[in-house]
Amino acid sequence: MHKILENKTALITGANQGLGLEIAKKYIGAGANLSLCARNERLLDEAYKTLDQLKVNSDQKIVTFSCDVSSLTDVKKFVHGSISALGDCHILVNNAGIYGPKGHIEDNDWDEWKKTIEINLYGSILMLREITPYFKKQKYGKIIQLSGGGATNPLPFLSAYAVSKAGIVRFIETLAEEVREFGIDVNAIAPGALNTKMLDEILAAGPEKVGKTFYDRAVKQKKDGGAPVELGADLALFLASSSSNGITAKLISAVWDNWKEWPNHIADLNSNDVYTLRRIAGRDRGFSWGDK
């Protein structure tokens, strides 16, 4: 692989398994230095050993931190400890996330519901608050936020997850405008329906908790294989590289969007609201009675 991230340093949250680990593999193969964090230290150690074998340069560095992204103390330790250990930072991938409680809102454990918001929404924002001043100072940065199906569609019986994902996408759009003049690109990724441990959670919960429609979809996904995890990782690699310079404030589907062609259309991307969260008005659907 061409070393498109050589001399770049990336911080990746939730990097000990699933998509986070796959992104880390792509980055290490592209020549990057890595700082990884997760809550499960055993899996984090295993991820380190795997990635250490994939180095393409002898001087590449990998460091790991045990971190709960919803803890301000842990986040500060991870961000500033990473920069201290590796000397710099150019890329942040906010991947850590959970589904949270499943079922009717009135039956959800309220502490679990809040914890989902704290991890998926607050945790991502805490990371961004800590790294943004550093990116501003160096007038460069790549911020890659993982989104999910809950951002663009209702997700019955997974309300905390849906709210957190919609909220973080709007935050990403907002932050992108705040830092546009500093050469910082900020985007969200929808990786598609992945066959990871989160899918197993849905299957274990059953149709009584997550609803028959969503459960049946999960069963089919498990059988068919789901979206290849490599697609989301390839998109994360593209957004971390110079090829994506100027692409910002977008929610990008790894599966459905022709993002490899986007560098040829920067002016179009920056001049309208394509690939963003927006209200659909009646006029957008040809109804003459709904709007003035």
Question: Contact, 163 vs 108, CB < 8 A?
Answer: no
Q: Which of 27, 122, 161, 275 is catalytic?
A: 161
Catalytic annotation, pick one of 70, 124, 147, 241: 147
Rounded (10°) angle between helices 123-138 and 159-179? 10
Extract the tokens encoding 188. 């969200």
3-state secondary structure 131-184: HHHHHHHHCCEEEEEECCHHHCCCCCCCHHHHHHHHHHHHHHHHHHHHHHHHCE
Residue 275 known to be catalytic: no
Catalytic residue among 165, 209, 244, 253: 165
Q: How far apart are CA 176 and CA 36, in angstroms?
A: 24
147 counts as catalytic? yes
The answer to whether residues 13 and 127 touch, using CB atoms and an 8 Å cutoff, is: yes
| 84 included as an active-site residue | no
Catalytic residues: 147, 161, 165
